[in-house]
């Protein structure tokens, strides 16, 4: 895999006022970069370094898994947001949410509850499993990718994702994520893509 930090898909100011430039700078350039640096050091000179990031996540354990999964999770999280995001999904994903959660409002309630009540550090995800949409949470670096679920959208609920802007108000951050940041175009593209 290449050991370079991917650029954000938007400028560091683009998600303001919902997430500040300071948050994105520290989160991307410090936390995300540190996971990548750790992974590079752990894999230096090892055959696993030639694998793709997804392959490393799926096959590794321990420190290699923790750092590889955090790199993958963060790459996915940045794409799960966009300037002027939020609102409701369209097309096939909107139909699937109505089918599996009865309404987008009910989905939002369940997603917010899952993200807010995830104990400690972790992630809230919308995934596809066996043809059905599910909301799942993972602790620390764990990821649905490791468990055969197809990731559609994620919200990072590690404190470093929101503490600068929201302090201890995780629920407010999650509400803002759904209303103003969620990239439903990205989620729809994941939903309709093969594999």
| Average pLDDT rounded to a whole number, residues 162-190 | 98
> What is the predicted pLDDT for the residue at 187?
98
CB 32 within 8 A of CB 23: no
Q: pLDDT by residue (tens digit) across 122-134? A: 999 999 999 999 9
CB 94 within 8 A of CB 88: yes
pTM over the 0.95 mark: yes
| pLDDT > 90? residue 195 | no
Nearest by Cα to 78 from 158, 17, 9, 174: 9
CB 88 within 8 A of CB 155: no
| Average pLDDT rounded to a whole number, residues 169-187 | 98
Q: pLDDT by residue (tens digit) across 61-109? A: 999 999 999 999 999 999 999 999 999 999 999 999 999 999 999 999 9
Q: Please give the order of strands across the beta sheet that includes 122-129.
A: 132-139, 122-129, 150-156
Q: pLDDT by residue (tens digit) across 99-111? A: 999 999 999 999 9
> What is the predicted pLDDT for the residue at 128?
98
37, two tokens: 């640096």
Cα separation, 188 vs 128, in Å, equals 11
> What is the predicted pLDDT for the residue at 95?
98
| pLDDT > 90? residue 137 | yes
Mean pLDDT for all residues in the chain: 98
What long-range pairs does 20-29 form, CB within 8 A, spacing at least 24? 20/164, 20/165, 22/164, 23/161, 23/162, 23/164, 23/165, 26/160, 26/164, 27/74, 27/160, 27/161, 28/74, 28/78, 29/5
């Amino acid at each position: 895999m290449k050991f370079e930090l991917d650029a954000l898909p938007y400028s560091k100011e683009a998600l303001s006022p919902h997430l500040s430039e300071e948050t994105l700078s520290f989160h991307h350039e410090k936390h995300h970069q540190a996971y990548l640096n750790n992974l590079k050091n752990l894999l230096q000179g090892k055959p696993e370094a030639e694998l793709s990031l997804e392959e490393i996540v799926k096959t590794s354990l321990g420190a290699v898994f923790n750092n590889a999964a955090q790199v993958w999770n963060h790459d996915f999280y940045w794409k799960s947001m966009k300037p002027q995001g939020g609102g409701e999904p369209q097309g096939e994903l909107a139909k699937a949410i109505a089918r599996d959660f009865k309404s987008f409002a009910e989905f939002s309630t369940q997603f917010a509850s899952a993200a807010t009540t995830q104990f400690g550090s972790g992630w809230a995800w919308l995934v596809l499993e066996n043809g059905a949409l599910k909301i799942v949470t993972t602790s620390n670096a764990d990821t649905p990718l490791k468990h055969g679920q197809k990731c559609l959208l994620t919200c990072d609920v590690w404190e470093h994702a929101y503490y600068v802007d929201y302090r201890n108000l995780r629920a407010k951050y999650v509400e803002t994520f759904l209303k103003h940041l969620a990239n439903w175009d990205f989620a729809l593209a994941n939903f309709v893509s093969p594999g």
